[in-house]
Amino acid sequence: MLLRTGSALVAGVLLALAFEPVGASFLIPFAVAGFVLTTRGLPARRGWIPGLAFGIGFCYVLMFWMRVVGIDAWLALSALEASFYALLGAVAAALSRLRLAPVWIACAWVGMEAVRSTWPFGGMPWGRLAFATASTPWQEALPYVGQAGVSLLLALLGCLLAWAVATVGRARVVSAVAAVAVLGVSLVPALTPYDTPTDGSRSVAVVQGNVPGDGDDILLDHRQVTRNHVDATIALAHKVAAGEETEPDFVLWPENSTAVDPFADTQINGEIREASDAVQRPILVGAMVDAGAEHVLNQGIVWVPGIGASDRYTKRHPVPFGEYIPWRSVFRSNFGRLALIPRDMRSGTRTTPLRIADTAVADAICFDVAYDDGIHAQIRNGAELLVVQTSNAMFINTSQIEQQFEISRLRALETGRYVLVAATNGVSGVVAPDGTVLDRAEPKTQAVLTEDVGLSTAITPAVWLGPWVGRACAAVAVVALCLGLLPYRRRQRRGEEVQA
């Protein structure tokens, strides 16, 4: 068991290395194979041990960036996420006794990803296998089968590799051939990339205003952060007037471009109006808006010159224990750090796109980009392009900013939309529907990226499928587990009867 557990820990670390900043995506199937091999043949009551070791190796390395929030936050979040792999280890051990075991275990893996992406406290999708496929041939399958579908192909490939190693004779040959077949299927979309039709275009200016000092504390001088975005926008207006820059149809500011309510703070309100009047185009402002004495909203607000605020999007997935405190009455007095969160952030429920400059725009604020639901809903309801407003200042010196930008790139492929990312100080960029980065601002700099982007209302198969691939995999795994346990229980009873 010690060898299995140690090997599982190493396999988990290898999977983490498939993500940024290393980005060794080819390790994915081998890491999955390592997980399967270390749980194979164990009783379910012991399969959780190597499963937990795998989860520890994976989650603690992948989310090492959480340490900037606090060592306790990194330890707690990683432990919670690792527990899902412990459960998966027990399930995989039980399923390994069945015929077609690689299929059932791959479904269980994707089902586990679906569950941990939604539960508890809204879930944490970080670390889905598909999120490590940017700039690989596997990314081309995203518009066809979505994030869950790509995860399924990779998980199945890893499971078949494990079976090819663990079995002998005809079973080994069949597993190896099946692995080659799955690899071939997963790469077919690279030969026929999905082509999303466009209908018209817009010019959009993405503003990265920068954060004073080291850049990792946006609240240290939050008024200067807002001023930076105002100044960058006014400078853009001057360049447009001089014929040095293309006139944008609208301007995109990041999350937390104002950390105070622009409707309550006259100074911030005036500065936003100053920028809007200068550029004479709508600005999508990222703002914290008061919602009573105990709550706050994280919003993208369409600010129209001469009019003011109009359409709004509210962040759907606030971060538990970071932007709100579940069971506040219990945790308030027990954890000193939580005193830094005096008000809970409420979740948004919007499923329709914003209207900006006669354009239907899907919005995602920061970690929203990792969740399927809000983005898919807005795309299905007519969004013609996707914007991501984010404030990664706290994580600016970590790999989190690159991991999140890679997810944004993959969303472009999955949805068939241009994606524009505005960050306070990195990473901002413009991504084409094929995942190509058209422009990108360097972290810790002030920059304005102006690009012509295509519009589309076509819906990819991935968006139509939505959550159903993950749900179907979870259902298949549960059914397989139940069917596998029935004969196992019967054999146990017969053995007891014989002994009696």
The pLDDT assigned to 497 comes to: 45
Residue ranges in 192-219 assigned as alpha helix (H): none
pLDDT, average across residues 250-268: 97
Alpha-carbon gap, residue 38 to 50, rounded angstroms: 6
DSSP state of 138: G
DSSP readout, 2-31?
HHHHHHHHHHHHHHHHTSTTT--GGGHHHH
Joined together, the tokens standing for residue 4 give 């299995």
Angle, helix 71-95 to helix 44-62, in steps of 10 degrees: 140
**Which amino acid appears at position 90 of this protein?**
A
Q: Which two tokens stand for residue 186?
A: 């997963």
Length of the chain: 500
Distance set, CA 439 to CA 294, 432, 451, 458 (Å):
40, 10, 8, 24
Cβ atoms within 10 Å, residue 277: 12
Please choose, from the candidates 157, 189, 185, 149, the residue with its C-alpha nearest in 3D space to the C-alpha of residue 435: 189
Tokens representing 266 are 């006259």
Burial environment of residue 212 by CB neighbours within 10 A (0 to 12, 13 to 18, 19 or more): middle
Percent of the chain with pLDDT over 70: 95
Q: pLDDT per residue over 424-435, tens digit each?
A: 999 999 999 999
Pair 58, 28: CB distance under 8 Å: no
Amino acid identity for residue 500 in this structure: A
pLDDT digits (tens, 9 = 90+) for 201-214: 999 999 999 999 99
Q: What per-residue confidence (pLDDT) applies to 492?
A: 52
- In the chain, what are the domains? 2-193+467-499 (no CATH), 201-460 (3.60.110.10)
Q: Over range 34-49, report the average pLDDT.
A: 96
pLDDT at residue 74 is higher than 90: yes
Q: For residues 249 and 261, give the distance between their C-alpha atoms in angstroms, rounded to a whole number.
A: 25
Give 407's pLDDT tier (boundaries 50, 70, 90).
very high
When the pLDDT of each residue in the chain is averaged and rounded to a whole number, the result is 94
Q: Which two tokens stand for residue 249?
A: 């149809």
Residue 487: CA count within 13 A, CB half-sphere: 9
Helices 169-191 and 142-166, packing angle to 10 deg: 160
Distance CA 387, CA 162 (A): 40
Check: CB of residue 202 under 8 Å from CB of residue 452.
yes
Instruction: Answer whether 253's CB lies under 8 Å from 421's CB.
Output: no
Radius of gyration of the chain (CA): 24
Tens-place pLDDT, residues 265-323: 999 999 999 999 999 999 999 999 999 988 999 999 999 999 999 999 999 999 888 88
Positions marked catalytic: 255, 315, 366
Distance from C-alpha of 313 to C-alpha of 481, rounded to nearest angstrom: 41
pLDDT tens across 148-198, in order? 999 999 999 999 999 999 999 999 999 999 999 999 999 999 999 999 999
Q: Element (H or E) spanning 250, and its range?
A: strand 250-252
